Amino acid sequence: MIVTFSLVLFSYVPVSGTAWTPPPPEAMRWGNAVLRQPAAWYSSAEARAMANAVLEYQSPNGAWPKNTDLTKTPVTPGILAEIERTGSADTIDNGATTTPMRFLAQVFDAGGETRYREAFDRGLDYLFKAQYENGGWPQFFPLRKGYYSHITFNDDAMVNVLSLLRDVGEGKAPFSFVNEARKGQAREAVRRGIDLILRTQIKRDGKLTAWCAQYDEKSLEPAWARAYELPSLSGNESVGITRFLMEVDRPTPEIVSAVEGAIAWLRASAIPGIRLEEFTGIDGKRDRRVVADPSAPLIWARFYELGANRPVFLGRDSVVRYALSEIEHERRNGYAYYGTWPANLLEKDYPRWRAKHSLRN
């Protein structure tokens, strides 16, 4: 039997006869949306109230925590203790530090208080201190033992930092308020970061390919992160790195070669004829599976085996497998092992980049 429903729209009028007034829209939540508002909003009382809350989450080191609602006030000792307990403080992971810095810069540029600029400057100084001599950034600073100290491209952590520092060094809006000394530091940090990117691009059979999600901070060799994140070529993080290199105004021959190598690898690593499907198993649980579909758009794996370049999948047991179905349900559904991350880069960004720089095959 198929049951259908029809939706009837009506206006509620209380018994008193007074027309119902809908509640005010919910206050904006913390996230990337705070960076994409109309310019006039950043001078509003709502934006300044949010900025005041963001200030309270800045650590003595100058950084911000990840996975935290920076609009939640008041900032009690309990909230700060929870941040410390979960190990979320002082990081560039998941947009932490770079997102609040960009937000504070916009509020200050719109006519905000000096303390927003001062907090931004402390954030800049934090990023300068956190950079390794070799040009990379760890996931957390001050440094922690384990993979947290690896040079981290995972989830665009390092690319987010470099993009921010590039904009600061070039004096782009809304960063014109940054003094010349810090702009110079930002340009130098970006130069060293690009050098690190070029040094860590993996070569196979003498050809440049892609990047790993993290590297040992001393040897610059591909490194493990979490139990299911092995040293491997990344079909996700390599996209952000390539796009960042393509945004360099005057690319050197080395940068051009790096981009061309990455594009060639992404094209060669595309997987045709399959799609990732969500379904409900016989146990009633939501699940994911790979199904054949000749009409499906190209898809890429998150991890490609170093050398063989085969898609690989790991669960929490760290055992390498070659099919998504072979890892446990929790990881199969809790991590992005497949995606279409390179699609726009290959179809739109790369052709525009070649045309802009008049590159010929």
DSSP letter at 243 equals H
Both tokens of residue 37? 């508002």
Phi/psi region, residue 188 (left: phi>0; alpha: psi -120 to 50; beta: rest), is alpha
Say whether 144 sits in a helix, a strand or coil.
Answer: coil
Would you call 286 a catalytic residue per the annotation?
no
> CA 250 to CA 259: how far, in whole Å?
13
Tokens of 80: 């700060």
CA dihedral of residues 72, 76, 81, 87 (deg, nearest 10)? 20
Query: Hey, what amino acid is at 292?
Result: A
Please, are residues 99 and 68 in contact by the beta-carbon 8 Å criterion? no
Residue tagged active-site, from 94, 154, 160, 236 = 94
**Is-catalytic flag, 67?**
no
Give the Cα separation of 130 and 110 in Å (integer): 29
Q: Which of 144, 204, 226, 288 is catalytic?
A: 226
SS3 state of residue 272: coil
Residues annotated as part of the active site: 94, 226
